[in-house]
Structure 1
C-alpha cells in the first residue's frame, strides 16, 4: 500500500543538530507567520538547545520543528519558543506529536509545566496549546506577558503566556502515542 499525505501518520522525530539549522530557517521563513530570526540563531538553537528541541522529518525533508528550553528560573518548566509545521502537514496533529515526543525525552523527565507565548491573532497556536493541555488532562492558563509596547518595532502584537500543567508523568507516556 502506498502512503499518501492524506493517510500519513508516521514521521521521523529526532534531536536537531547544527546541520539542521539551514532547513529550520527555511521552514520558519516559509510559515509566513512566525518571527524569522537570523540563520545564525537557528544554527545555535539546533546545536545548543538540541535536547529540548525537535525536528520532524518526512521523506528526507524537514516538515516540523519546535525550539524549546528548560526555563532557568523554573527547572520544571519547558518553555516553547517556536512551533513550525510545513503547510503540507498542517492540521494533522504534527505539532502535538512533537510536543509529546519532547516530553518523553530524558532531558524533560522533570518537566511538569510547558509554557509558550502566543499572539492574540495566532489561532492555530492557541488551538495547539489548548488541545495539548486537554490531551494531558491538565490546565491551560493564559495571562499577560509581553505588551506590544515592549517591542522596539511598531505593529508587533502582545504576547500572551500560556502555562500548561501540572503534567502528570503517566499522562506524558500514555498520551505520547497520539
Structure 2
C-alpha cells in the first residue's frame, strides 16, 4: 500500500475487515459495470461510461477493494458545476457477497470527508426511485450522522424519460453538513 493509499484508508473509519479504500482507476471500469449490473436496482449505464467515470471523476468517487485489489463496492459522484459546494452522488453499489457489512455507509462517509478537505462541501444530493428502501435508509442515516436535514422533491417525473416507463427520480438534498 502506498502512502497515499494509507492516507486515504485512514479517512474511512469502520471499514469491514479485509477491505481497503482506493480511488477508482480506468482498469476498474469493467468491475464497476459488473457490480452495477448485478445490483438489480441501478440503472445500468454503458460499460464505456464506467471507464470514463473511472478516468474523469476518480477524485469524487471511491472503490472498496479486497486484499487482492478486486473492487467489491463503489460510490461515484461529481461536484455540480452550478453548485460547487454540492456533491451529487450518482451511484452506490455493493457486490452481493459484501452487503450487510456497512460498506456503502463507510464509502459515503469517507468520500465526503475526503472531498471536504479540498472543497467547501455543504450539501450532498442524490436521486432515489420510490421504493428503493436500501438507498432511502443509506442517505437518511448519512444525514443523521452528519447533523443534516433531508429535503425531497421529484427531480425527474415519469414523463421526462423518453425510453419507456421509468419510476420518477426523487432528489434527496442533504445539508448543511457538519463534518
| TM-score normalised to structure 1 length | 0.86
Aligned position for 1:71:
80
Instruction: Return the alpha-carbon distance in structure 2 between the equivalents of residues 143 and 93 of structure 1.
Output: 27
Count of residue correspondences = 162
2:169 to 159, 163, 172: 159
Aligned position for 1:38:
46
Cα distance, 1:59 vs structure 2? 3.2
Q: Does 1:148 align with 2:174?
A: no
Aligned position for 2:95:
86
Alignment gaps of 5+ in structure 1:
1-7, 173-178
Deviations 1:115-136 (A, max 9, x none): 0000002110011000100111
Q: Does 1:110 align with 2:120?
A: yes
1:63–1:86 contact (8 Å) kept in structure 2: yes
Q: For residues 7-46 of structure 1, what are the structure 2 equivalents within 5 Å?
A: 9-10=16-17, 11-46=19-54
Instruction: Return the alpha-carbon distance in structure 1 between the equivalents of residues 22 and 67 of structure 2.
Output: 14
Structure 1 pair 94–108 and aligned structure 2 pair: CA distance change class (3 A): farther
Q: CA RMSD in A?
A: 1.4
1:78–1:108 contact (8 Å) kept in structure 2: no
Instruction: Return the alpha-carbon distance in structure 1 between the equivalents of residues 65 and 126 of structure 2.
Output: 23
Aligned position for 1:3:
none
SS at match of 1:75: strand
Aligned position for 1:95:
104
| TM-score normalised to structure 2 length | 0.86
Instruction: Return the alpha-carbon distance in structure 2 between the equivalents of residues 121 and 103 of structure 1.
Output: 25
